[in-house]
Homo-oligomer: A and B are copies of this chain.
Amino acid sequence: MSGSSEWTRIALLRAVLGGAAGEHVLCGIGDDAAILAPVAPQGGALPGGAAPLVWTVDSAVEGVHFRRDLLSFEDLGYRATMAAASDLAAMGARPLGLLAALVLPPDVSDDDLGAIAAGQRAACDEIGAAVVGGNLSRGGEISITTTALGVAAAPLRRDGARPGDALALAGPVGLAAAGFALLDRRVSPAGAAAAAAIRAFRRPVARIEAGLRAAAAARAAIDVSDGLAADLAHLAAASGVRVLLDPGALVSAELREAAALLGADALELALYGGEDYAVAVAGPDVGALPGFVAIGRCAPREEGASDVALLGPDGQLTSLVARGYDHFA
């Protein structure tokens, strides 16, 4: 194909689109969400008291992000909503609302549309927000583009982690990838682990409350949806730190069992499986945050060393090669 990687293309967009923003744009292209300081309708500053807005958009495209044979229409609506909300969670923001732009091929019936909306509604009820508008269009493939708007007194960004900070994680990693693999191979073994994995894939949960709890304690955060290693590499690069992970903290009993059903490596799934919509945070005391699990720490950046490494029990480091999901690769 003729295009560059997703990251190169984001840099291209930043070069063309950046620099035109007003002073109220506190964070533009490159983090989980944009951060805006609201201004008065006349264009001047507000009289005070207005917290920054956190704002994101996310697309779920048929054949790229989902397959209709593995998910119900209700699942599609649910997942698309949670994927957008997860960007707010990673900034420590409270959702104000969501808008959804639906592109629907002719074979999507009114009942199917109703099921998509029911899934959106269920996800919204879970996070305490609502879809307050949107757009409908015909198209050749289903796509659901969701934009979520939130508010945060001090939004978390990717670039605030410092050497010595602890790393913590809210939400499972690897389980959604295990669930996808089980469904894809048409093996749906009985048992709690398989059910949990399939549920993690079909009904991921944005960690809004965890993000709000982290907002005061963390110095940096990132949405984990492209795979933990890849997303932490972004946090490490933005913050100028090196991330050292405790492999024992990444694999839950459920993930170990689900991986065994697949004959897969549980740690591989935890590091590289995507679509979890977990939130990783860095800060001095984040390991003690309710709803979070301590997974490692930040170290000084080292010339020529990988941004992310596994820390063995005897202190030896294993470099991880960046290997996330690239939509354009």
Proximity bits, A118-144, B CB within 8 Å = 1, else 0: 101100110000111111111111010
Within the complex, what minimum Cβ distance (angstroms) separates A293 from chain B?
Answer: 25
Q: How far is the CB of A35 from chain B (nearest CB, A)?
A: 9
Q: Which residue of B lies closest to A153 (CB)?
A: B41
**Smallest distance from the beta carbon of A271 to chain B beta carbons, Å?**
23
In the bound complex, do residue A113 and residue B46 qualify as a contact, i.e. CB atoms below 8 Å apart? no
CA distance A327 to B46 in the complex (A): 40
| Chain B contacts for A70, CB-based, 8 A | none
Q: Known interface pairs A16-B118, A41-B152, A59-B101. Does A29 touch B133 (Cβ–Cβ under 8 Å)?
A: yes
- The residue in chain B whose Cβ has the minimal distance to the Cβ of A106 is B1
In the complex where A57-B133, A59-B145, A149-B55 touch, is A96 in contact with B3 (Cβ < 8 A)? no
- Does A125 lie within 8 Å of B33, measured CB to CB? no
Which residues of chain A from 23 to 46 have a CB within 8 Å of any chain B CB? 24-25, 28-31, 33-34, 36, 38-43, 46
Contact A3 B39 (CB under 8 A): no
Chain B nearest CB: distance from A82 CB in Å? 15
Given A94-B41, A103-B143, A136-B6, A117:B153 Cβ within 8 A: no
| A305 at interface by CB-CB < 8 Å | no
Cβ 8 A contact of A149, one of B113, B140, B149: B149
With known contacts A41-B152, A43-B94, A113–B53 Cβ distance under 8 A: no
When the two chains form their complex, are residues B99 and A25 in contact, meaning their CB atoms are under 8 A apart? no
Q: When the two chains form their complex, are residues B29 and A53 in contact, meaning their CB atoms are under 8 A apart? A: no
Query: Which of B39, B49, B93 contacts A47, CB < 8 Å?
Result: B49
Q: Is B97's CB under 8 angstroms from A25's CB? A: yes
Q: How far is the CA of A149 from the CA of B65 in the complex (A)?
A: 26
Q: What copy number does this chain have within its complex?
A: 2
Which residues of the partner chain B approach A57 to less than 8 Å between Cβ atoms? 99-101, 133-135, 145, 147
A315 at the interface (CB under 8 A from B): no
**Least Cβ distance of A179 to chain B in Å?**
22
10 contacts between A and B (CB under 8 A): A12-B113, A12-B117, A16-B118, A46-B49, A47-B48, A48-B49, A49-B49, A57-B100, A63-B140, A141-B141
**Residues in chain A within 8 A of chain B (CB atoms):** 1-4, 6, 8-10, 12-13, 16-17, 20-22, 24-25, 28-31, 33-34, 36, 38-43, 46-51, 53, 55-59, 61, 63-65, 93-94, 96-97, 99-101, 103-104, 106-110, 113-114, 117-118, 120-121, 124-125, 130-141, 143, 145, 147, 149, 151-153, 212, 215, 327-328
